[in-house]
Amino acid sequence: MRKTLLKSLIEGPLTEAAPGADDAELAAFAAEVDRKARARLGRSLAIREIDAGSCNGCELEINALGNAFYDLERFGLRFVASPRHADVLLVTGPATKNMEEALARTYQATPAPKWVVAAGDCAFDGGVFAGSYACIGGVSAVVPVDLYIPGCPPTPLSLLKGLIALI
């Protein structure tokens, strides 16, 4: 045990250092989102997140949009608990058989005009879960998709870029 502790002190951590945050790029996108959100939406876009069968990797990145660094709400973009209050459905994961009806009903419950954003490679075509007995395919197998955001998982900055494209 002592030998292992000594070795860890000398060699340091085995994990890679975290990549430095690109503050300049984030600031540029933040300004762009803010400008477009004000012009098109009057500073308000309500997003309902739906996990259609994700491994939760995508959710971790989506959660990061709400932290103090990305702080999505400063642009008037916010997550809501009900599809009846939503403009955008942000869907992650492959469309699983168990979530098919829930996803379709959530879409029907969202008032028009509405947009569907499929986030992550699984949401595009099933990703690593494609071909599974539990999956139907990508999100478009159940509801019409307006925008795909690629990545496994997509980074918070990719999600921001996607929202800019949508706006």
Using CB under 6 A as the binding criterion, the count of chain residues that bind ligand SF4 stands at 13
> Interface with ligand SF4 includes 55 (CB under 6 A)?
yes
C-alpha of 61 from chain center:
6
The yes or no reply on residue 62 touching ligand SF4 (CB under 6 A) is no
**Interaction between residue 120 and ligand SF4 (CB under 6 A):** yes
58 binds ligand SF4 (CB under 6 A): yes
Q: Which residues contact 27 (CB under 8 A, 6 or more apart)?
A: none
Nearest-CA neighbor of 33 among 75, 88, 62, 68? Answer: 75
Q: Are 105 and 112 in contact (CB under 8 A)?
A: no
Q: Indicate whether 89 belongs to the interface with ligand SF4 (CB under 6 A).
A: no
Report yes or no: 163 and 33 within 8 Å, Cβ to Cβ.
yes
DSSP state of 13: -
- Does the protein bind ligand SF4 through residue 137 (CB under 6 A)? no
By CB under 6 A, tell whether 156 contacts ligand SF4: no
Query: Which chain residues interact with ligand SF4 by CB under 6 A?
Result: 54-55, 57-58, 92-93, 120-122, 127-128, 152-153
